[in-house]
Structure formats: structure tokens, C-alpha cells
Amino acid sequence: MKKFFTEQLLAWNQEQNTRTMPWKGIKDPYKIWLSEIILQQTRVEQGLPYYEQFTTAYPTVQHLAAAPEEEVFRMWQGLGYYARCKNMLAAARQIVDTFQGQYPDTHEQIQTLKGIGPYTAAAIASFAFNSPHAVLDGNVFRVLARYFGIHTPVDSTAGKKEFAALAQSLLPANQSAVYNQSIMDFGAVVCKPQQPACLQCPLSAKCVAFKQQLVAQLPVKTKKLVIKKRYFYYIVLEYKDQVYIRKRTENDIWQNLHEFILIEMPGPINANELEAYTAFKEVMHNIPYTVQGISPAFKQQLTHQTIYSQFILLTAAKAPELAHYMAVPRARLNSYAFPKTITDFLQNKSLGLF
């Protein structure tokens, strides 16, 4: 069953795999690594333009390591999960400082880089150096769970161990790069999460899920995704063409990105009535102002949270004293990295508010 699996997969890759991606087949570990980091939690179509931008702006790890943090964060804008960006920059600097600018070439050393776990290290080590390490991403979990009929939850410790051992046992000698790429592509284009192409699948003759009609039940996951709703009311306070912003430093979403004066409410409110709330009064205490406008609600969907934001534009009648916020000329706002929802607001000229 295992031999059939590996042989069919490699044959499929050679004869039918038409999935093209700019990083496929390249051996530069730096570019492979960039593609892996960009694609974590991101769809290929969404990640592709970012990969192009990053490799053009920073063709080598030295270029990335020397780049100003703010510039890199701005380029990352829209990809979400900013910890990935922060770790990516830290790892680039680590390669320059600790590995003399040479990308490490063993699975063990690659794992010492910031933000790289065993599976990403396996992908880089196998694609760049053909090291014998099996990749285990969402696509691989799904293909293995269905073909072998495994019901152990893929997000459990036992499941991770079981799938890792199975994946490793399937790896053909000296062909880890092409095999890993094949199984990932196969999961993306044939054994897809919804409506897999079982009738055209070269594995169907021995696929347990197909034969036992379990395709829709596999893979099994234990944790249900709980999505929390959050309500952000942003005060966009202007005084003499300067606007007040701050960098988010808390251990929360959007760390290291900038924002206007935030009032978070436990539930939705009528933004016209925000002035009546204590949180607003505390912030605007002693600052005379006039209201210029209120935006409609903007929505940003994150994996675990839905963020609803509204922007309240105020003009201060005297220079505000606000701890933790800095005054930035309105024309320079675009040199700061903001979460997508704020960028959407700033770019939406049709509102006529900003």
C-alpha cells in the first residue's frame, strides 16, 4: 500500500502535475524559506505577489537583514500574522550574525532559526538540499489521513507523532525534494479539502477513505475554531495637520503595527454616542474638539477574531497632550505600517472623511 502510494504520487507529479509556482524547483534556501514563511496560514494566490515583492526588494538574506524594520513591516502589510514577519527579520539577522550570511544547510541548524519549526525546516532542508525529511503541512495531513484511513485527530499530540512517522516512512531514497513537492501539490489540486477529484485520482484503487466513503469525515480535528468578535472605535484626532498614532506593543493582534487612538468596547455601540462613554471621556479629557465625521464600520476577518472598526474624526482646538501617542504629519502617515482595516480606511477616499 505504501509502495503504491509513493510510486503513484511520483508518477502523477511527472505526468500530470501542472501546478507552477515561482519558487518550485529552485535550490536557493533563502528564497525557499521566504516562500515557506509567506505561505504559512496564507493561500498561494494571496502570497504570490508578496513573494515577488520581497525577492525583488531583498534579493539576498543580507539585503533583508539590513532592511529597516518599518519598511519590512510595510511590505508585509495585508498578510496578517505579524509575528511571522518579525521572526523572519530576526532570522535573517541571525543568519548574517551567526552563520556568516550562509543559509544553514542541515535540518537541525535550520530549526535554530527564529520562527522555524520542524516542518518548515523539513521543507527547506529537502527542497534546497534534498535532505531526507518529510514535510507535514495541511495538504499532507489530509492526503495521508484519507488514503490510509487514519482517524487520529491531526491536531492532537498522538496524531502529529503518528502522521510524522508515517510521512517519514513514505519518503523515497534520494528523492525527498520531488516527493515532498508532489504530495503538497497533490493535496492542493487533487485531494482538496472540498470536492476532491476522487474519480480521476491515481490513488483511488487503494484509498481507504474512497473505498469506505469516509472522504468527507477525514481528516479528523479535535479543536473547533472559536471566532471572537471585537469592536474597535478609533479616534482619528487631528491638530494642525498632525494626526495622533501609536505602535501596538501588547501581546495581542497587530503587534508592531500602528493605530489611531483606540477605544475597544465589549459590544457594538452607536458611534454617534461614543462621546457619552467613560472610556472616551478619559481619553479626551481636557481636549476641546469638534467632530468632523464618522466612518461606516470596517470589517477584518482574522483566523480567530472578527474585528469591526469605526473611525471617528475629531479636530482638536488646542495641542493635545496624549501619553503613548505621537503626532505625525498627515502626509507622512503612509510611511507607517498599519493593520489592513486602517489601511482600508485611509485609502477609501470616497468617504470624504480623510
Choosing from 48, 83, 178, 215, the residue that interacts with ligand SF4 (CB under 6 A) is 215
C-alpha distances out from residue 326 to 65, 68, 242, 245, 247, Å: 27, 20, 9, 6, 9
* Region near ligand SF4 per CB under 6 A, out of 12-20, 88-96, 188-196, 278-286: 188-196
Choosing from 16, 111, 152, 204, the residue that interacts with ligand SF4 (CB under 6 A) is 204
Q: Does 198 bind ligand SF4 (CB under 6 A)?
A: yes
Per-residue binding letters, 251-270, with ligand SF4 (x by CB under 6 A): --------------------
* Region near ligand SF4 per CB under 6 A, out of 25-33, 46-54, 74-82, 143-151: 143-151
* Residues 89, 62 contacting (CB under 8 angstroms): no
Distance CA 14, CA 205 (A): 19
Residue number with CB closer to ligand SF4 (27 or 151): 151
Q: Does 313 bind ligand SF4 (CB under 6 A)?
A: no
Task: Establish whether 36 is a catalytic residue.
Answer: yes
- DSSP-derived letter for residue 190 is T
Choosing from 128, 191, 236, 307, the residue that interacts with ligand SF4 (CB under 6 A) is 191
Q: Which residues partner with 311 through β-bridges?
A: 234
Q: Does 113 bind ligand SF4 (CB under 6 A)?
A: no
* Residues 255, 86 contacting (CB under 8 angstroms): yes
Please classify residue 146 by burial: count the beta carbons closer than 10 Å to its beta carbon, then call 0-12 exposed, 13-18 middle and 19+ buried: buried
For the segment 7-26, give every residue that binds ligand SF4 (CB under 6 A).
Answer: none
Alpha helices in 77-199 (DSSP H): 82-98, 107-111, 118-129, 138-148, 157-170, 176-189
Catalytic residue among 7, 36, 52, 259: 36
Q: Does 140 bind ligand SF4 (CB under 6 A)?
A: no
In this structure, the chain runs to a length of 354
Q: Does 210 bind ligand SF4 (CB under 6 A)?
A: yes
Residue number with CB closer to ligand SF4 (136 or 203): 203
Q: Identify the residue whose cell numbers are 541571525.
A: 94
Q: Which residues partner with 314 through β-bridges?
A: 237, 291
Residues that bind ligand SF4 (CB under 6 A): 143, 146-147, 190-191, 196-198, 201, 203-204, 207, 209-210, 215
Q: Which residues are catalytic?
A: 36
